[in-house]
Each structure stands twice: as structure tokens, then as C-alpha cells.
Amino acid sequence: MIKDLYTSQSPEDTGAIAAEILRAMPDGGVIALYGDLGAGKTVFARAFAAALGITEPVSSPTYTILQEYPVPDGGMFYHLDLYRISDARAGLAFGVDEYLNEPGAWILAEWPERIETLLPPGTVRLQIRHLSETGREITRLS
């Protein structure tokens, strides 16, 4: 079950929250991760990948838009950073819709507001907010 509110006091806490959310998504799905620059979206994505058993380092894909990782037990993990995608039309030109709708894959999108209209039904929308230097609040939007 994904809770409506999580509180994190450290990057490690955020990682544990990511692993807990993964347990509620055993067959894949889309996570739209909203939050300001430096909120902790990539920290969350890295821990999510690790919880999937991915051992490759997960870097910030800011300059690559998409990074794909095979999941050891099957399926794929797609990490999208849409900061440089202006809108849904640009997202479609890139082909994000194909990743977003791939069955049995986990997709985590940073800056999902850029492609809001392309997010499939069932997308888990999470917002990370700064509370303090190391404090964060993660809320489920829908």
C-alpha cells in the first residue's frame, strides 16, 4: 500500500520510502515524481533502482532524458528526466509514450509536469517537498 504522506529526515530515509513504494508495485508501473530542483527525485530514483536489484550506478539523466536499466528478475526500469522537454508534443517526438505504456516495466519520471497529458491511468503521482536542509515530505497526489 502506498501511503498519502511520508516524512524523510535523510537521503537514506528517502531510499527506504522508495523501496517501500516499490513493494506496492510488484508488476511495474509509472511513478511521476514532482518536486523542485534538489528536492531528492534522483535520490529516490537511485534507491528505487537498487531495490529492483539494479547494481549499475544510476546517474542523473538530466542531459540524456532517458536511461534504461534491465531488471535482474525481468522487465526494465526507465528513468526519465523531462526537465529539458518543453511539453507533451516534444515528449511524443522523443517517444516517451512508448516507455510510459510498456507492460511489466517500472518507469520513474522526474519533471512529469512537462508531459502531464501523456501520463497513463494508474500513474502514481508523488510530490517531494523541502522541509529543511535534510527534511523532506513525500505526498501522494493521486
Ligand X SMILES: Nc1ncnc2c1ncn2[C@@H]1O[C@H](COP(=O)(O)OP(=O)(O)OP(=O)(O)O)[C@@H](O)[C@H]1O
Among ligand X, Mg ion, none, partner that 8 touches (CB below 5 to 8 angstroms by kind): ligand X
The amino acid at 78: Y
C-alpha cell at 63: 542531459
Residues 55-74 that bind ligand X (CB under 6 A): 60
In terms of CB distance, is 8 or 123 closer to ligand X?
Answer: 8
Stretch that binds ligand X, among 8-16, 18-26, 92-100, 116-124 (CB under 6 A): 8-16
Burial class (CB in 10 A: 0-12, 13-18, 19+), 87: middle
Q: How far is the CB of 106 from Mg ion (least distance, A)?
A: 17
Dist CA 1 CA 76 (whole Å): 22
Least spacing, CB of residue 4 vs ligand X, in Å: 18
> Does residue 131 contact residue 137 with C-beta atoms inside 8 Å?
yes
> Over the Cα atoms of the chain, what is R_g?
14
Cell for 118? 501523456
Interacting stretch for Mg ion, rule CB under 5 A, among 63-71, 105-113, 116-124, 129-137? 105-113
Q: Which does 79 bind (CB under 5 to 8 A by kind): Mg ion, ligand X, none?
A: none
The answer to whether residue 42 forms part of the interface with Mg ion (CB under 5 A) is yes
Contact 18, 51 (CB under 8 A): yes
| Contact residues for ligand X, defined by CB under 6 A | 8, 10-11, 13-14, 35, 37-43, 60, 110, 134, 136
